Amino acid sequence: MAKLGVNVDHVATLRQARRAAYPDPVAAAKMALEEGVSCITVHLREDRRHIHDADVFAIRKLSGCRLNLEMSATDEIIDIALKVRPDQVTIVPERRQELTTEGGLDVAARPEFYRDLTKTFSAAGIALSFFVDPGQRQIDACAATQALAVEINTAAYSEAVSDKDVTKTLRDVQRTIHVARNLGLVVHAGHGLNYRNVTFIAAIEGLDELNIGHSIVAQSIYVGFSSAVASMKRLIESAAQNKRAVGGI
Ligand code: PXP
């Protein structure tokens, strides 16, 4: 059954909107952990637009916290990651101008580079996951690096409007999960998932974890952070239990 990993980046976005000391992503991470989530995710971007180095080190120290550090594969951030020693790093592409991560990483384009990166983290006892778009080519490339995991980009599914596109993008994700599992990879998914669209993804067999951030932080404005986390967790759990078939939409 898919577990919920909570991304607290946008708690820091609100803080940075005023360069204030609050709201605190570390406090939010603690509240999410109290709701029984399986991991906390933060993306330490090169421009530090939301999460700062001190946030990452503080979240690392929270008791019972499995930390997933999202990051680009640049020397500066790799050095920080090796100091923080998160449980897992998720390698994402990063562009300064983007509002959020746009598209998955092209692991197939630089097989040796990503194999070496996987070796670097594995020598430090840190699991590595690559954030990739659905499709066989990238999954094959990820498996060849000996990475532990992949995170499948659900942006196309989240942005699909017509029933036809929703069905197609969901099938793409489902097939990719199947391919990745057959190659022995642990499979995560995320990006753009919210309270309306998470159910069909959560019902797919073979997923280990869903990483969700923006919709939970947005919902917390109305209902509070703990409650927003708890209701997303309940949705995921009930979707997995009901096992609504993907073909049934
Ligand atoms: N997974 C990855 C790799 C991401 O880059 C993001 C956005 O930071 C997420 C998951 C979470 O996406 P969202 O904030 O849309 O839930």
Answer yes or no: are the C-beta atoms of 21 and 14 closer than 8 Å: no
Question: Which atom of ligand 1 is closest in space to residue 9's alpha carbon?
Answer: 8
In this prediction, residues 195-220 reach a mean pLDDT of 97
Domain membership flag for residue 249 = no
Domain membership flag for residue 246 = no
Q: Which residue has the tokens 């933060």?
A: 42
- pLDDT at residue 247 in the model: 43
User: Taking CB atoms and a 6 Å cutoff, what residues make up the pocket around ligand 1?
Assistant: 7, 9, 43, 70, 90, 92, 100-101, 131, 151, 190-193, 211-215
The CA dihedral of 220, 224, 225, 231, to the nearest 10 degrees, is -80
d(CA 32, CA 197): 21
* Total Cβ atoms within 10 A of residue 241: 11
- The predicted-structure confidence for 86-130, as pLDDT tens digits, reads as follows 999 999 998 767 777 779 999 999 999 999 999 999 999 999 999
In this prediction, residues 158-165 reach a mean pLDDT of 97
Distance of CA 174 to the CA centre of its chain: 17
CB burial of residue 62 (10 Å; 0-12, 13-18, 19+): middle
d(CA 207, CA 120): 26
Per the annotation, the verdict on 52 as an active-site residue is no
- Pocket test of ligand 1: the residue of 44, 46, 100 to mutate, having most ligand atoms within 8 Å of its CB, is 100
Question: Which atom of ligand 1 is closest in space to residue 101's alpha carbon?
Answer: 5
Domain membership flag for residue 91 = yes
Residue 224 amino acid letter: G
- Pocket test of ligand 1: the residue of 3, 49, 99, 101 to mutate, having most ligand atoms within 8 Å of its CB, is 101
Per the annotation, the verdict on 191 as an active-site residue is yes
- The predicted-structure confidence for 29-75, as pLDDT tens digits, reads as follows 999 999 999 999 999 999 999 999 999 999 999 999 999 999 999 99
Domain membership flag for residue 248 = no
Cα-to-centroid distance, 192 and ligand 1 (Å) = 7
- pLDDT at residue 244 in the model: 52
CATH of the domain at 176: 3.20.20.70
- Which of 70, 94, 151, 209 is the catalytic position? 70
Q: Which has the closest alpha carbon to 135: 147, 150, 115?
A: 150
Residue 94 amino acid letter: E
Domain ranges, residue 231: 3-241
- The predicted-structure confidence for 28-38, as pLDDT tens digits, reads as follows 999 999 999 99
Number of domains making up the chain: 1
Report pTM.
0.95
